[in-house]
Structure 1
Amino acid sequence: MDYEIKFLERDAVEKVEGDEKAKSLIDKNGLVLASAFAMITPDSSVIDRWNVNYFNAETSELTNFLVKGDDVTHIETSKRIHDTEIKPIDMSKITIPVTKILSSAMERSELEFPHETNKIFITLHHNNEYKNECWTITLFSTNLFLYKIKIDAITGKIVSSEMKHLLK
């Protein structure tokens, strides 16, 4: 699947934290950066928007901002679904940008994922298992298989990969 990246995750975070309304909400509620998410689909093969999520440890709520171009929109604040501990992302540690991560993931998927990719989910987060900032790239196929690859966001090393069927 071909794709084009209009702006990076770092740019999206900077836009949120530079937006007056978003910054006020972040500061007022003591929010910490929890994740950044983008998606590639057959209808939209251009990464031109990012969802940037902030976490409030006191209320266990996630606040989601959509960044598209220069626009920052507060989408929602909602209770978390999972009980896993959320640690803040330290953007100063992120040395491998999404461009290189996607190239690495796509190369690896050619060897391990024999299915036609329909959608790609891209998530930057702190991974408690690896105790580091981590990229998770998830490829979905039209025949309900998924391939998940985790890549250390500091070293670029692939730390795990797995393929499974969504109905099994």
Structure 2
Amino acid sequence: MEIKELISGLEQNNAFSDWKKKNTSAYLSYLFRTYEDAANENKWSDWQVGYYEPNEDKLATFILGKDDNVTVQDHEEIFKKPDTKVRELELNKIKIDYKQALDIARDFQRSNYTHEMVGKILCILQDLENFNNIWNITYVTLAFNTLNIKIDAVTGKVVEHKLTSLLNMAQNNVMEALSKIKKKKE
């Protein structure tokens, strides 16, 4: 399985080993990759592998480049609600690799959202509270929508899907900001 091999290779890297010695309580929290052009299958970004340090409530991201090159972005702020726990990703439970997850998402999109032309793909493997180990795949479409498909990383079943307009999201954010400004003036 490519994901397990990827993490195994990272854990053998000197930069990771040195970092882990200083951050012994840190654990694997996500793997992330983008696909810049759905029409061209050679446009994958490098893998980003996130480790959460609970004592500091920070993330370290390891960017796995070509030729086993590893770049570390340490002590990054986390974008989460204050009461949200960053859960550990348990690789030993993962049965569906990313290529399988992408095939499942692609088939689902083609069967259920045929009118949406895919431009960019965001692919994240994480452990979410209501879903456990999940492939969280988001398509950014040419019609300025996002199609989010959550796939169980153990069974391969689509457990949730949602189409959202980026334009509506932007409009809602502007309206919310204006409402806050108005309340401050009152």
Fold agreement, TM-score > 0.5: yes
Runs of 4+ deviating beyond 4 Å: none
Aligned partners of 2:21 and 2:135: how far apart in 1?
26
Unaligned runs of 5+ in 1: 1-6
Alpha carbons of structure 1 residues 138 and 106: separation in structure 2 relative to 1, 3 Å: same
Shift of 1:77: 2.5
Aligned partners of 1:28 and 1:129: how far apart in 2?
32
Unaligned runs of 5+ in 2: 169-186
**Larger-gyration structure (1/2):** 2
Task: Write the mapping of 1:38-117 to structure 2, written as runs, cut at 5 A.
Answer: 38-42=33-37, 45-46=41-42, 47=44, 49-69=46-66, 70-83=68-81, 84-113=84-113, 114-117=115-118
| Bigger proportion of residues as strand | 1
Q: Does 1:36 align with 2:38?
A: no
Would you say how many aligned residue pairs link Structure 1 and Structure 2? 161
Taking structure 2 as the reference length, the TM-score comes to 0.80
Moved more, 50-59 or 35-44: 35-44
Aligned partners of 1:166 and 1:48: how far apart in 2?
23
1:67-111: CA deviations, max 9, x gaps?
Answer: 123111113431212122111111111111111111010000012
Taking structure 1 as the reference length, the TM-score comes to 0.88
**Any idea what SS the aligned residue of 1:58 has?**
coil
Kept in 1, the 8 Å contact 2:35–2:45? The answer is no
Aligned partners of 1:117 and 1:48: how far apart in 2?
17
Aligned partners of 1:106 and 1:152: how far apart in 2?
15
Q: Percent identity?
A: 23
| Bigger proportion of residues as helix | 2
